[in-house]
Structure 1
Amino acid sequence: MTAVRDLPEELPHDAATAALTEKRMRRMRVFGGPAPTIDRSTLPPGPGWPPLLQSIGLLRFRHQFVPWAHRRYGDVFTVRLLPDRPLVLFTRPEHAREIFAADPETFLAGKANSILGPMMGEHSLLLQDRGAHQRARKLLMPAFNGHALREYGDLVTEVARADLAGWHDGEELRALDRMNRLTLEVILRVVFGVTDERRLALLRPRVTRVVDISPAVLFGWSVPRLRRLGPWRAARQNAHELDQLIHAEIRERRTAPDLATRTDVLSLLIRARGEEGDLLTDEELRDQLVTLLLAGHETTATALAWALYELGRDDALLARTTAAADDGDDAWLEAVLKESMRLHPVIPMVVRTLTAPATIGGVDLPAGVTVGPSILLAHARPENHPEPDVFRPERFVGTNPPPNTWIPFGGGVRRCIGAGFSLMEGVVVLRELLTAYSVETLADDRPKVRNITSVPRDGARIRVTAR
């Protein structure tokens, strides 16, 4: 194993944990193993560029590349990703319905998400399939049911108020940075159950560095030599340090005298038992915690940042939303958040890898192909959402868009387990923020890709004015 430099004195260091980190990085393949042998002539049309250029197009310039491919090749088209993996994107709601309702034994989501493997680990809910996924989901579900969400709401309110107390009248700021800071605090307290300021200070920068990773670094995990160079080396070192902190927290929590009464997700998972009475191992706990941390932190923060950006551009919309915050009209606040997720998708697509031939939308596809509905295109189709370029929260008031046309959380048996938590958190933050401040957008913004997500390129710059 490559030696890891000595960690700072305040960080725990355990050789067994360091070995687990290195083992995960070696085992988890970004591309999920060797590329399948597939007759390309049997696939829907798509760009003829080399896989490298198409990968860059999809991951770095997706907001230009995907709409262009749709205009050029139609509602179903093929993109070839490194090393030479075909991805067939679908754009119509009936296509999404077929994919979400398909047999999960044939349509594997975990295999399709392999790019996240080196960071999230093989036990991650996003990377597991079949029986392993069912077991993990059953163990996680109690932490995200209605009763748990009601308890978390008070904590989210407390965290939001504490953060907003540090804002200043007339301050100009990047909404994305502030929302990332706030939602990170929520995750660390609700999921990890960490309240000690020293530990929080150690966790915050390391989690932030994971979230801020570039697509190039993600792809570099598959090349062992790169892990010794520049940004890949820094990312690897950060992974080691974060793992040390997480495993130390798990070990200590297992013996905490108040474990039986704690309501944070980590404590609930430590107490959870499978159908055969088995407990989650430390490694399983680590992988699920990191998954919840990464999947539930930046996505909600980005949706909130875009929501504030849109509110700050429209005085009438801001007035209506401010009144909703004052009156406790959570339905309208949730509609604002949902419309933010529709107009500004954080994740570009929902993917599955076929283990056997399948037919979707009348298109016959061979085993080994990855398929999925494009969230970017589904949310932008005018037949799904009239005037799709206009921010209109009323689309979600008293009704919902047609099925499979709004899919930020995926669908079917793999629908995001944290969807309810994300919406609850977003509503609470909007309510607390808008009862304290008015917002004004300072400049136009557009999306850019960070890790696998899309965020405001300039951070959604706003000015806040105390009410």
Structure 2
Amino acid sequence: MTTTHGAPDDTAALTRRRLERMSGLSEDGSLPPVPQQDLPPGPRWPALVQTIALFRFRHRLHAWARRRYGDTFTLRLVPKGRPLVMVTRPEDTKEVFTGDPEHFLAGKGNSVLGPIMGEHSLLLQDRDEHKRARKLLMPAFNGQALRSYRSLVAEVARDEVGGWRSGAEFRSLDRMNALTLEVILRVVFGVTDEERLARLRPRVTATVEISPVVLMGWAYPWLQRFGPWRRTIENQVELDRLIYAEIRERRQAGDLAERRDVLSRLLLVGEGDDADATGDGGGLDDTELRDQLVTLLLAGHETTASALAWALHEVGSDPELLARTQRAADEGDDAFLEAVMKESMRLHPIIPMVVRTLTRPAVIGGRELPAGTTVGPSIIVSHARADNHERPEEFRPERFLDGNAPEPNTWIPFGGGVRRCIGAGFAQMEGTEILREVFSSYAVTALGEDRPKVRNITSVPRQGARVRLTAR
């Protein structure tokens, strides 16, 4: 079924087997039953109701549960009421992030993403498999690599902003989605041919815009014959076909060492002098590459776009902040632009939580939690606690400047510990470059209020963070 490098001869069959095998919400028989009496308090609603509330109304649910039950509370999710214990204090968050990765498994907690990302995804792997994958991916995200990507990101951002017009009004989320998609396709996938880009864009967009209902539906395979689940499978088959074709062709390129995109760098990892560094003398095969590329796509596309959209809307709501941000763009003050990006991720969390599944009992916050429990910090609550961030309801980039960085484990959009997001540096660099291009050319005025809504696993501005442009 595979070629020499692991590329599938029949991608459709491979895709369908992955989707069948990796039901994101299926019960894991390796996890023991969890005694309910040993858990912190939480709502007593049916598991399906709690699951829907977590997927669709997470911002209200997290805040309400903390008010109702305290700093630590339990949600029960399908299937079979599997417990999710949420913590909100930084000292408890630290205990989760520093837990033994042999027994605090992040991959199991992220399994809802399995059908789309694939079993080799860095987000779904644990233990030795995760160590190997992270070691193979790290060279594509080290400091030297990030510096080489910067000019590519700036070029893509300049092309996008160059097409804007003074007086235009639009949903900034739409434009930031289009822009970060181009960054993903050009900087990560290394695709520059317009014909190929035109084929990839709609497939990638359809993957990113999966509804939470579709994610929940993986627990019920019979649904895959109908409506959005069937269309999701059809889209996955076609996207996989395009990605595998790109990987196979790129392997034959004679200029891999000169290319600056992530895919080309990953193809070189594990070969020659890099072989010893990987620990096993082998790089990523085509199936592994496909899974990691899709992971980067989902983890680094709409997340960054949403953070940027909120940043434009917040800056456009405050004339003084707008003037300060424009000055930073003009003067090359990357620290301030990065602080705007960080504050956007603090005030408007894109991902609600970071989770680990326990394979043996562990003490978190002074309470022993049994094996089989999934536990993790609520990013939503952690970012909104007044004891973590002074006047947390205000958008104040200066809280990240001049030695005012938040205390450890209070600002956690990228998680923490050995599982901290490998693309954190890339995301912050990308955001900084895009903000520079926007505010070097335009003043931005926010149009109306906005609030978050859930789309797939991320939160985005409900009204799209509408803004008006004025040329400088």
Same fold flag (TM > 0.5): yes
Aligned runs of 1:176-255 on 2, under 5 Å? 176-255=173-252
C-alpha distance in 2 between matches for 1:221 and 1:364 = 32
**Higher deviation after alignment, 277-286 or 444-453:** 277-286
Is residue 19 of structure 2 the alignment partner of residue 25 of structure 1?
A: yes
1:307 corresponds to which of 299, 306, 311: 311
1:160 corresponds to which of 157, 162, 166: 157
Is residue 145 of structure 2 the alignment partner of residue 141 of structure 1?
A: no
Residue type of the partner of 1:159?
V
2:53 corresponds to which of 57, 61, 73: 57
C-alpha distance in 1 between matches for 2:402 and 2:303 = 25
Equivalent residues of 1:126, 1:291 under 8 A apart: yes
Q: TM (normalized to structure 1)?
A: 0.96
Instruction: Give the aligned partner of residue 89 of structure 1.
Output: 86
Equivalent residues of 1:14, 1:244 under 8 A apart: no
1:463 corresponds to which of 463, 468, 472: 468
Equivalent residues of 2:25, 2:218 under 8 A apart: no
Aligned runs of 1:6-17 on 2, under 5 Å? 16-17=10-11
Equivalent residues of 1:32, 1:111 under 8 A apart: no
Equivalent residues of 1:382, 1:388 under 8 A apart: yes
C-alpha distance in 1 between matches for 2:407 and 2:98 = 16
Residue type of the partner of 2:387?
E
Is residue 105 of structure 2 the alignment partner of residue 122 of structure 1?
A: no
C-alpha distance in 1 between matches for 2:161 and 2:252 = 35
Instruction: Give the aligned partner of residue 72 of structure 2.
Output: 76
C-alpha distance in 2 between matches for 1:267 and 1:149 = 14
Equivalent residues of 2:22, 2:114 under 8 A apart: yes
Distance 1:14 1:91, change over 3 A: closer
C-alpha distance in 2 between matches for 1:261 and 1:111 = 38
**Higher deviation after alignment, 261-270 or 309-318:** 261-270
Residue type of the partner of 2:406?
P
Residue type of the partner of 1:393?
P
The superposition leaves residues 323-370 of structure 1 with CA deviations (integer Å, 9 ceiling, x where unpaired) of 111111110001111000000000000000000011101011110000
C-alpha distance in 2 between matches for 1:221 and 1:197 = 34
Structure 1 segments unaligned to the other structure (5+ residues): 1-12
C-alpha distance in 1 between matches for 2:410 and 2:314 = 21
Distance 1:428 1:463, change over 3 A: same
Question: What's the % identity of the aligned pairs?
Answer: 67
User: Shift of residue 39 of structure 1?
Assistant: 1.2
C-alpha distance in 2 between matches for 1:132 and 1:280 = 12
**Higher deviation after alignment, 169-178 or 23-32:** 23-32
C-alpha distance in 2 between matches for 1:205 and 1:67 = 36
SS at match of 1:379: helix
User: Shift of residue 263 of structure 1?
Assistant: 2.1
Instruction: Give the aligned partner of residue 419 of structure 1.
Output: 424
Q: TM (normalized to structure 2)?
A: 0.95
Distance 1:367 1:14, change over 3 A: closer
User: Shift of residue 269 of structure 1?
Assistant: 1.1
Work out the number of aligned pairs and report it: 455
User: Shift of residue 398 of structure 1?
Assistant: 1.6
C-alpha distance in 2 between matches for 1:423 and 1:207 = 22
User: Shift of residue 33 of structure 1?
Assistant: 2.9
User: Shift of residue 223 of structure 1?
Assistant: 1.7
Instruction: Give the aligned partner of residue 450 of structure 1.
Output: 455
Residue type of the partner of 1:102?
G
C-alpha distance in 2 between matches for 1:131 and 1:33 = 23
C-alpha distance in 1 between matches for 2:179 and 2:388 = 33
C-alpha distance in 1 between matches for 2:438 and 2:430 = 12
Instruction: Give the aligned partner of residue 275 of structure 2.
Output: none
Equivalent residues of 1:213, 1:450 under 8 A apart: yes
The superposition leaves residues 80-137 of structure 1 with CA deviations (integer Å, 9 ceiling, x where unpaired) of 0111210000000000111111100000001110000000000000000000000000
The superposition leaves residues 21-48 of structure 1 with CA deviations (integer Å, 9 ceiling, x where unpaired) of 0111011121253474111111000000
1:371 corresponds to which of 370, 375, 388: 375
The superposition leaves residues 398-434 of structure 1 with CA deviations (integer Å, 9 ceiling, x where unpaired) of 2210100000000000000000000000000000100
C-alpha distance in 1 between matches for 2:362 and 2:301 = 35
The superposition leaves residues 279-316 of structure 1 with CA deviations (integer Å, 9 ceiling, x where unpaired) of 21110000000001110111111110000010111011
C-alpha distance in 1 between matches for 2:195 and 2:67 = 52
RMSD: 1.1
**Higher deviation after alignment, 220-229 or 163-172:** 220-229
C-alpha distance in 2 between matches for 1:15 and 1:80 = 42
SS at match of 1:33: coil
Is residue 412 of structure 2 the alignment partner of residue 407 of structure 1?
A: yes
User: Shift of residue 158 of structure 1?
Assistant: 0.4
C-alpha distance in 2 between matches for 1:255 and 1:120 = 25
C-alpha distance in 2 between matches for 1:282 and 1:430 = 35
C-alpha distance in 1 between matches for 2:28 and 2:120 = 21
